[in-house]
A and B are shown apart, each in its own frame.
Chain A
Amino acid sequence: MTLKPVVNDPQGLAVTQGLHALGYSEVLESRVGKHIQLTLTASDRQSAASRVEEMCRRLLCNGVIEDFHFQVAEAGT
């Protein structure tokens, strides 16, 4: 989950300033988001993806302020 581009991100601004202080002057912007790892059962990738998308819309992401994207991978057995 990341804050939508139009939403001001003071945490990201603080990170940029910290990197600049360390001499990484090439950094133009940083945006701070959230990473969630889900382990779940599903019959196939497509059904897992559609369930995860629903979870994002209903709980994991607040659509007023955040965007989300996800990747589905098979867990090692």
Chain B
Amino acid sequence: MTWRCGIAVFPGTWSERDCAHWVELAGGEPVMLWHAERELKGADLVVLPGGFAHGDYLRAGAIARFAPLMAAVRDHALAGGPVLGICNGFQILCEAQLLPGALLRNSCLQFRCQSTHLRVEVGRGPLLSGLEPGTVLRMPISHGEGRYYAPPDQLQELEAGGQVALRYCGPAGELGDEHNPNGSLEHIAGVLNREGNVLGMMPHPERACEPLLGSEDGLQLLRAALAVLGPR
């Protein structure tokens, strides 16, 4: 038996097939979950992929959070089940208040599609504990609204509580505004919920899963996560 990875599909999701390919390469079994469904079809891990769910109308993720599927995702998350939101999926998890903060228009006002380096900040929770803190991963971003924001007091809590999961950095893990593609506070590229089982990240690990794509670091991330989950 392999790990079953549920992949949420909303009207306007665009990365679900890339995610399915990535899951298969990592040795998992992808299962598509349509937004109108009410159950997770036995998924051990739920992935909310990138795209423009419901056209990003009103705010990115604002409408998607009320999808019937999201009630099941919430139950899964609150029971400690692993949930990974990528790009638009991260925005949805913030709107659903399963993750703290919000994602705003990039400070450069441009849609950014480029390779980035990420530094793993904490090795915590089922999705990240297979990676050493300080590990530098390379994977692409592709977003117009990825500037992470949390109010100052909440930001302090996130830092103190080990909830800042990933930061944009240079090739050697160094921090600096020149490595921050969207103006995110404290160069934040990914955050965890307090318990550590829900991870949101703007970069796309599923688009860094083969040598042809220039990096396999996204595959490393998922393989490490599945290894933490253990044999099924």
Q: Beyond A62-B95, A64-B149, A64-B150, is A10–B102 a contact (Cβ under 8 Å)?
A: no
Do A7 and B183 have beta carbons less than 8 Å apart? Answer: no
Q: Give the number of A-B contacts (CB < 8 Å).
A: 35
Is A75 among interface residues, defined by CB-CB distance under 8 A?
A: no
Do A10 and B150 have beta carbons less than 8 Å apart? Answer: no
Chain B hits for A7, CB < 8 A = 104, 149
The distance in angstroms between the C-alpha atoms of A14 and B108, with both chains bound, is 10
Residues of chain A at interface, number, CB under 8 A = 12
Chain B hits for A3, CB < 8 A = 104
Do A64 and B151 have beta carbons less than 8 Å apart? Answer: yes
Residues of chain B at interface, number, CB under 8 A = 20
Contact of B102 among A6, A59, A65 (CB under 8 A): A65
CB distance from A61 to the nearest CB of B (A): 9
> Could you give, for residues 1-30 of chain A, a 1 whenever the CB lies within 8 Å of some chain B CB and a 0 otherwise?
001001110110010000000000000000
Identify which of residues 101-144 in chain B touch chain A, using a CB-to-CB cut-off of 8 Å: 101-102, 104-109
In this complex, which of A3, A10, A59, A64 has the most chain B Cβ atoms within 10 angstroms of its Cβ? Answer: A64
Q: Which residue of B lies closest to A7 (CB)?
A: B149
Is B21 among interface residues, defined by CB-CB distance under 8 A?
A: no
Identify which of residues 17-66 in chain A touch chain B, using a CB-to-CB cut-off of 8 Å: 59-60, 62, 64-65
CB distance from A14 to the nearest CB of B (A): 6
Do B109 and A62 have beta carbons less than 8 Å apart? Answer: no
| B-to-A contact residues, CB < 8 Å | 58-59, 62, 66, 94-95, 101-102, 104-109, 147, 149-152, 183
